Structure 1
Amino acid sequence: MTATEDPDPRPVLFRHSLEQDGFAVRAGSSSTPDPFALVRRHKMDSAGGNNAGQPYKILRVPCPRAEQHDIDKDFGLFHLRADEAVIYLGRTPPRCDYFSFTPYVWVRHEDSLAPKGDWVFAATGDPLNLSRIGTEGSDGPFAANTLVIFAADQGLADRIIAAARNARYPDEMINVVVIPSELVRMAGVTPGEIGDSLTILVRNANFAEGDDRKEKIEDGWVKHHYLHTDDYAHVWRVTPSTPLTPLKPYETPAPRQRRDQPEESRVPGLTAGLDRLQQAILDAIPHVEARVYGSIRWFLDSREVLSETNRASPTFHQFVAGEGSDTPYLRTALDGAPANFTLAEDEIAVVFGVNHAATGLATYSNFGVYGDWILGRDPECGPFLFGDGTNPVWNGVAGANSHSFTGTAAPYLGENDPMAPYLYAVKALRNAPTDAPEGSFVTVPSRDLPEELADQIKGSPIRSIPLDQPMMIGYRAYLNPRTKAGPAYEDLIPDRVVWLKLPPA
């Protein structure tokens, strides 16, 4: 968005004030990435547990010198000095269940295990989510003016805030997201001291009706302005004309408190109800073989990964796929260990568990179906830009959330079961049934659609899970309304899966 196109004169005043204070201000943009396409094009070896059907945006931060280009435009990667900052100025996302702004260490170069650097995708701190963000006015956090400053140095941030006040931005809309120097390797002033490769991700989930509608334009169909234009808000990189000294780095913020009331004490009888639901599923669906899977924690904590310095530790530079504190991440397990399964056309996996939104532990909860195989190294395709072919593909191809699966346990338990309103049960299968109500099932594609084949690498399926490849279920529960953070692992009751082999037709 150029200054002349913006009807609000304050961005011009703000930028001018920053420049008068000795800062260079370079404009970037934002874009919507396609994780499937990035995997197919060998940009990365994993879709990173993408939340099926939910959009992401990245802030494309420019390099500090005009003659340079972004490290990689697909990811908006950048390096940042301790005396530099990134600014997001403009509207927040449209009305939805969830959004957040989070900086990540995408690649760690210092003391890396791989010559090209280690892909960690670890959050630098707690996300700035819709429950915590400051916006202008009293109409709530959606499509509202905000100013977000991503900075490691308090002295720098204070000068930016002073310039914002000079441009008549109210304090209520000014937010500072600390990039902790203790956890993040900042770039140096000297060329070659690149530090960590960073990216800033904007997560969104479940846009309200009408806020992500399709609109007819002369050249075809496009989605809402927010997702499909790169000028929704200003993205600036702020660099001092001469390095700032002395610096005043922020202390590393303490992690948010996530513990609250355990789910079983919120709704006594939930675990027993979940056991009844499991038996009811087994009784309702004829089968010749059955397996019941539990779930365990999926990823390590980002903070632990970024702070670990012992190369022998299993936590050191571990890939955590965008883990953040606004949700717990669970995955399919057997006997307390990660597990997966294949799904043939004569098999069904019934995903069931507690609807964490119904118990009040989360704003919304969901599950996704993910491929759990490893792409491996393919010499014909060349190396991956990020990863080396050994990360699980974790491509979210289908899923359901608490909007769609509310009420799905009642057909198994009966309407009179007091736990039915707090539980869900959704079939995952290969072919859509003709007589099942909407919300009671999800279909798992076994091959990519024809129009998606053109840019595949050697036919590697990414938007689907082939019949012979393993899959798993991943679970999330976003934002406990009381803590304004993700529910603690200790507070929620883990989800389950019943895998069933159907009898011959």
Structure 2
Amino acid sequence: MEYARAGSRPSWPGGGTRRGGGDRRCQDGKSCSGNNPTSPYSTYYVPRAPGQTVANPNELPDGTSSTFRLREDEAVIYVGKTPPPAKYFGFRSYLFDRFNTTSNQRENIFASLGPTLNPLTIGVDTSGGTGSSPAPFDRPTLVITTGHAQTDRLIRESALAAGISESALNTDVLDPAKVKFGLEDQADSFGFLFRYAIPEDPAKGQAFLDNPGATLLRVTPTTPLTPDPIPAPARPTRGSGTSENSYSAALDALEQAIRNQYSGYDITAIPLATTGEPDPDACIAGTRSCAGDNPDALYPSSGPLRFEAALQPNANTFYVAFGVNHEASGKVLYSNLSVYGVEHLVGVKSVASPEMPGSAQDYLPNDAQANELFAWKIARSCGGAAHCMEVPTGCPGVDTNAFATITFRAYLDPVTKTGPAANELLPERILKISNP
């Protein structure tokens, strides 16, 4: 079977993928879909298929787009390496938008279509050394994004014939039961995100993001193939059977210590509005919003908080977010807390789990478990204080009287190799503290 190659180019900026910046998008008045400030994102920019006449959404002058349509027998292939060592990386495809025949408009879906290929699940070539990086980092890999079984088999056969190790071959399934393939105007469009968080060597990590030395291919059969859908893989089950309940007493003690330190202030507990387990199938069905969910993550969050007297310059009102450092407890590979501007769903600032040790000891210096907890002040001005996040106005930021959320993330249970279960993590807590 011969294949027409619709596009072949290096990946990342200047090539097949580009990084997205939250500050640029909010300046343009667009949504940032709740971007994680800790984790840069990259995406595939894919050309049209041979003979495709309907433009893909938001095409660039070179004809590529980060949202693209696919025939059911097509595939997009990443041929390159995994990144240098880091806390986390992930390859994940998405149903980006869909034509609604009732409203006669395209509607944003942005829901994941299956398990993420992450450091614990991705296949790589381990036969040869590439320096001192341990597998699966900095290793050859090939990711086939398709919903067609024969196409997948033929690509794998070609890869093996080209000398690519079988252990490096991965199939990212576009579930034919959930999507509408095609190149016509009313077909679904797809997208792809690569996430990369907290590299061990920031310079090497940035060099990879700038130029991973990869190739991105759109593969189209010269003669259309008969339907041959790939059975969708089951979504991994969250929950390993172990929890953080042993930290309950220490977390209660930390809350009391914070309240004691600000005993002359008005203190209000801010509830979490969601447990944060994404449900992409519900998003595809139109009953929930996903905004580019990652099955490897948990996203508990406050509801919208109006940053009025709270966090105005020179006002003595602030928040303290605190909880278990889920990385230190061993439940996940990394976690963070972030502040988001609601208007553009833009991630303003974040604090990641490697930065958290010692912060709870500001309030609870003598507790044996305090170093596995965290407590972080969120204010307009920190006055040079440690363990404090300053929230600016402007873009990206939160203007006075605008709404924001305080959101937490927990990435990748090392036992289940997917996102943690909400009922196995102790929920974070937030206090609003105001000078009466």
- TM above 0.5, yes or no, is yes
Is 2:330 the counterpart of 1:352? no
Counterpart in 2 of 1:305?
283
Deviates more, 1:361-370 or 1:90-99: 90-99
Counterpart in 2 of 1:41?
28
CA contact (8 A) 1:124 1:179 kept: yes
Mapped to 2, the partners of 1:406 and 1:127 lie a distance apart of: 29
Look up the SS of the partner of 1:128 in the other structure: coil
Counterpart in 2 of 1:64?
49
- Residues 285 and 429 from structure 1, CA distance in 2 versus in 1: closer, same or farther, beyond 3 angstroms? same
2:380 to 418, 430, 445: 430
CA contact (8 A) 2:304 2:403 kept: no
Instruction: State how 1:319-468 maps to structure 2 within 5 Å.
Output: 319-332=289-302, 338-342=303-307, 343-344=311-312, 345-372=315-342, 374=343, 393-415=344-366, 417-434=367-384, 436-437=385-386, 440-446=387-393, 448=394, 462-468=395-401
Counterpart in 1 of 2:409?
476
Look up the SS of the partner of 2:155 in the other structure: helix
Look up the SS of the partner of 1:413 in the other structure: coil
CA contact (8 A) 1:88 1:149 kept: yes
Q: CA deviation at 1:38?
A: 2.5
- Residues 73 and 143 from structure 1, CA distance in 2 versus in 1: closer, same or farther, beyond 3 angstroms? farther
1:164 to 159, 177, 182: 159
Q: CA deviation at 1:21?
A: 2.6
2:213 to 232, 244, 247: 232
Q: CA deviation at 1:472?
A: 1.4
One-letter amino acid matched to 2:164: Y
CA contact (8 A) 1:262 1:490 kept: no
Counterpart in 2 of 1:385?
none
Instruction: State how 1:140-155 maps to structure 2 within 5 Å.
Output: 140-155=135-150
Mapped to 2, the partners of 1:93 and 1:166 lie a distance apart of: 25
One-letter amino acid matched to 1:35: G
Is 2:79 the counterpart of 1:92? no
Q: CA deviation at 1:286?
A: 5.1
CA contact (8 A) 2:112 2:280 kept: yes
Any unmatched runs of 5+ in structure 2?
Answer: 10-15, 128-133
Mapped to 2, the partners of 1:287 and 1:444 lie a distance apart of: 24
Counterpart in 2 of 1:135?
124
- Residues 341 and 262 from structure 1, CA distance in 2 versus in 1: closer, same or farther, beyond 3 angstroms? farther
Is 2:249 the counterpart of 1:272? yes
CA contact (8 A) 1:91 1:144 kept: yes
2:236 to 235, 253, 256: 256
The size of the alignment, in residue pairs, is: 413
Look up the SS of the partner of 1:359 in the other structure: coil
One-letter amino acid matched to 2:280: S
Mapped to 1, the partners of 2:233 and 2:34 lie a distance apart of: 27
One-letter amino acid matched to 1:236: L
Counterpart in 2 of 1:101?
91
Q: CA deviation at 1:185?
A: 1.6
Any unmatched runs of 5+ in structure 1?
Answer: 1-19, 214-223, 309-314, 333-337, 375-392, 449-461
Q: CA deviation at 1:209?
A: 2.3
Q: CA deviation at 1:250?
A: 1.1
Q: TM-score, normalised by structure 1?
A: 0.77
Counterpart in 2 of 1:208?
200
One-letter amino acid matched to 2:217: W
Is 2:233 the counterpart of 1:241? no
Is 2:73 the counterpart of 1:79? no
Counterpart in 2 of 1:119?
108
- Residues 225 and 300 from structure 1, CA distance in 2 versus in 1: closer, same or farther, beyond 3 angstroms? closer
- Residues 72 and 226 from structure 1, CA distance in 2 versus in 1: closer, same or farther, beyond 3 angstroms? farther
Percent of counterpart pairs with the same letter?
30
Residue-by-residue CA offset, 1:466-501 (whole Å, 9 max, x unaligned)? 122122111111011111111011211111111111
One-letter amino acid matched to 2:249: A
Mapped to 2, the partners of 1:408 and 1:305 lie a distance apart of: 37
2:258 to 281, 296, 300: 281
Deviates more, 1:280-289 or 1:352-361: 280-289
Mapped to 1, the partners of 2:399 and 2:429 lie a distance apart of: 22
Mapped to 2, the partners of 1:181 and 1:67 lie a distance apart of: 20
Mapped to 2, the partners of 1:93 and 1:48 lie a distance apart of: 24
CA contact (8 A) 2:271 2:430 kept: yes
- Residues 120 and 480 from structure 1, CA distance in 2 versus in 1: closer, same or farther, beyond 3 angstroms? same
Residue-by-residue CA offset, 1:7-44 (whole Å, 9 max, x unaligned)? xxxxxxxxxxxxx63443422511111233223324x3
CA contact (8 A) 1:287 1:500 kept: no
- Residues 275 and 41 from structure 1, CA distance in 2 versus in 1: closer, same or farther, beyond 3 angstroms? same
Look up the SS of the partner of 1:358 in the other structure: coil
CA contact (8 A) 1:366 1:476 kept: yes
Counterpart in 2 of 1:386?
none
Instruction: State how 1:159-198 maps to structure 2 within 5 Å.
Output: 159-187=154-182, 191-192=184-185, 194-198=186-190
Counterpart in 1 of 2:131?
none
Q: CA deviation at 1:173?
A: 0.5
Mapped to 2, the partners of 1:117 and 1:97 lie a distance apart of: 36
Mapped to 2, the partners of 1:79 and 1:331 lie a distance apart of: 33
Considering only aligned residues, what root-mean-square deviation do their CA atoms show, in Å?
Answer: 2.1
Mapped to 1, the partners of 2:202 and 2:301 lie a distance apart of: 32
One-letter amino acid matched to 2:398: I
Residue-by-residue CA offset, 1:113-170 (whole Å, 9 max, x unaligned)? 4x43111211111111121111112641222211000010111100100000110111
CA contact (8 A) 1:61 1:70 kept: no
Mapped to 1, the partners of 2:99 and 2:177 lie a distance apart of: 16
Mapped to 2, the partners of 1:175 and 1:361 lie a distance apart of: 26
Counterpart in 2 of 1:499?
432
Q: CA deviation at 1:347?
A: 1.1
Q: TM-score, normalised by structure 2?
A: 0.89
Q: CA deviation at 1:112?
A: 5.9
Q: CA deviation at 1:111?
A: 3.4
- Residues 106 and 144 from structure 1, CA distance in 2 versus in 1: closer, same or farther, beyond 3 angstroms? same
Look up the SS of the partner of 2:105 in the other structure: coil
Mapped to 2, the partners of 1:346 and 1:196 lie a distance apart of: 50
Mapped to 2, the partners of 1:110 and 1:163 lie a distance apart of: 38
Counterpart in 2 of 1:217?
none
